[in-house]
Amino acid sequence: MRIGVLTGGGDCPGLNAVIRAVTKSLIRQCGAEVVGIEDGFSGLMDANPRTRVLDWRSVSGIAHRGGTILGTSNKANPLRSPADTERTLANARALALDGLVVIGGDGTMSIAHGLADLGLRSVGVPKTIDNDIVGCERSFGFDTAVATATDGLMRIETTAMSHSRVMIVETMGRHAGWIALEAGLAAAADIVLLPEIDHTVEAVARVCREREAQQRYTVICIGEGAKARGADLTVQHRVEGSFDPVRLGGVAHVLREQLQSLLKSEVRATVLGHVQRGGQPTPFDRVLATRYGHHAAQLVAAGRFGEMVTLQGGDLRSVPMARVANQQRTIALDDPLLVTAREIGVSLGEH
Ligand code: F6P
- Compute, in angstroms, the gap from residue 181 CA to the centroid of ligand 1: 17
| 27 neighbors 79 (Cβ within 8 angstroms) | no
pLDDT digits (tens, 9 = 90+) for 110-124: 999 999 999 999 999
CA quadruple 161, 163, 165, 168: dihedral positive or negative?
Answer: negative
Which of the four pLDDT bands, split at 50, 70 and 90, describes residue 326?
confident
The number of beta carbons lying within 10 Å of the beta carbon of residue 164 is 15
pLDDT tens-place string over residues 121-172: 999 999 999 999 988 999 999 999 999 999 999 999 999 999 999 999 999 9
Alpha helices for the chain (secondary structure H): 15-30, 42-45, 82-94, 106-116, 142-163, 178-186, 201-213, 251-260, 283-301, 321-324, 336-343
Q: Three-state DSSP class for 6?
A: strand
- What number does the ligand 1 atom closest to the CA of 129 have? 2
The Å distance, Cα 127 to ligand 1 centre, comes to: 12
The answer to whether the CB of 10 is under 6 A from ligand 1 is: yes
- Best CA proximity match to 227, nearest among 250, 260, 261: 250
Please identify every residue annotated as catalytic.
130
Alpha carbon distance 309, 306 (integer Å): 10
> What's the whole-number mean pLDDT along residues 235-239?
92
Structural domains in the chain, CATH included, are 2-140+281-323 (3.40.50.450), 145-278 (3.40.50.460)
What pLDDT is recorded for position 135? 87
pTM: 0.97
**Mean pLDDT of the 10-14 span:** 97
pLDDT at 351: 85
State pLDDT tens for residues 284-311: 999 999 999 999 999 999 999 999 999 9
Site to probe by mutation for ligand 1, drawn from 127, 172, 251 as the one with most ligand atoms within 8 Å of Cβ, is: 172
Burial class (CB in 10 A: 0-12, 13-18, 19+), 238: exposed
Whether residue 252 is predicted with pLDDT greater than 90 in this model: the reply is: yes
Decide if pLDDT at 323 tops 90.
no
Mean pLDDT, rounded, for 94-105: 97
